[in-house]
Structure 1
Amino acid sequence: MGQKVNPIGLRLGINRNWTSRWFPGSQITPSSILEDHKIRKFLKKELYYAGVSEIIIEKAAKKLRVTVVAARPGLIIGKKGADIEKVKETLKKIVQKEVAINIKEVKRPQADAQLAAESVATQLERRVAFRRAMKKVMQAAMKSGAKGIKVKVSGRLAGAEMARTEWYMEGRVPLHTLRAKIDYGFAEAMTTYGIIGVKVWIFKGEVLHKGIQVEKKEEATREERPKTRRGRQ
């Protein structure tokens, strides 16, 4: 089961928290979910250049707080906060509420799964060979302290007539271990041959109930496993 489901959703309440934090009544739940979707879609499009990893939305009765976790926060804020004010005003028009925006920096961008997936997708759109793009991201993640990484691409790879799936893995990625801190990211590359899906799993260590990081004395063995499967998943 751990191989199929979203690893973030599987670990909610264990070592991951929800990215939408609000408690509406049953009648307004659908509209609140749609509102969250619009906020995320707008911010992803507007702040794409800043490398947005995560968007956390917190709602009160008449106020909305949005926390944007990005690799380059300075580009979001702009000179004297001018750019962030423009974003805030646009969000006010979308949600019709008072909006507060917090910006956080990603400590290790190379070990962030969402940023890694978007990096591979960007390289594929620039016609970089998919194997080269995958291995480049994997090497950067392992150098920045990741315990393991798995990258999977699906679609018409290298312009092939039949879609297929290929993946590479280095180190350990224990998807069935619930205490394992697994970061997951997904992105799509819009190529001339069609859409190529990119999925990235990054293992950052095991977390106990008290939040203690378990360090292994022996280093994880490095391995690369090229796999091919015909058809799309």
Structure 2
Amino acid sequence: MSANPIDWNGAAAPLTDDLIAVRRQLHRFPELSFEERETARLVADRLARLGLTCRTGFGGHGVVADIVGDAAGPTIALRADMDALPIAEETGLPFASERPGAMHACGHDAHTAMLLGAAELLVRSRSTLKGTVRLIFQSAEEINAGAKAMIREGVLEGVGEIYGLHNLPTLSAGFASVRPGPLMGSVDRIEIEIEGKGAHGAIPDQGIDPIVCASAIVMSLQSLVSRETSPFEPVVVTIGSIHGGRR
């Protein structure tokens, strides 16, 4: 970057209303993981208006574009996720989801709008850049699959550093929070299948109850926090889904 400081807040202020409108548009029409076709199209269209060449369909519906500075230097990446969650919105907001059973409850609509805003500012400041900024709009973050797919297709080739962020509604506007190491929760997919033995509910001693077994496993997994990790590290273990029985 240039040695002369840039007033980024001042440069960003005129973009505020437009980016709010973009975020609300995305919020009205959320798309689930690996279904972000319209979102990706909106992103690609706006990047094209900035004169950027986009690569689409990257690891699903991911969109990638490079902003090449006027001087040589390293490549860093900025990343935002685009997918929504399978949740029915009940906020009553004028820009609430118009798609039943889908909602941007995790704020990826805001993340996408933020990176589009950053793209516009960086394009305007291209002459001050020493190197390349790669913009990565990722699909399928919520199912822990989109990043892996994009990496397999080479999205990080040549990238020396990558930066992202996540909104935090409990943090006051205008502030950012950082810390060494992990900061927010991540998702992992695990499947444990328990095979029991059927019996009438009135005589459970004649069978093997897999629901009781599954419940014991869920409770025992909490000992990972109390007995397997340092008390100085924030850790949470949440099992998101359990299925048992037929009725």
| TM-score, scaled relative to structure 2 | 0.28
When you count strand as a share of all residues, which structure comes out higher?
1
Query: Larger RCO: Structure 1 or Structure 2 (Cα < 8 Å, ≥ 6 residues apart)?
Result: 2
Larger-gyration structure (1/2):
2
| TM-score, scaled relative to structure 1 | 0.29
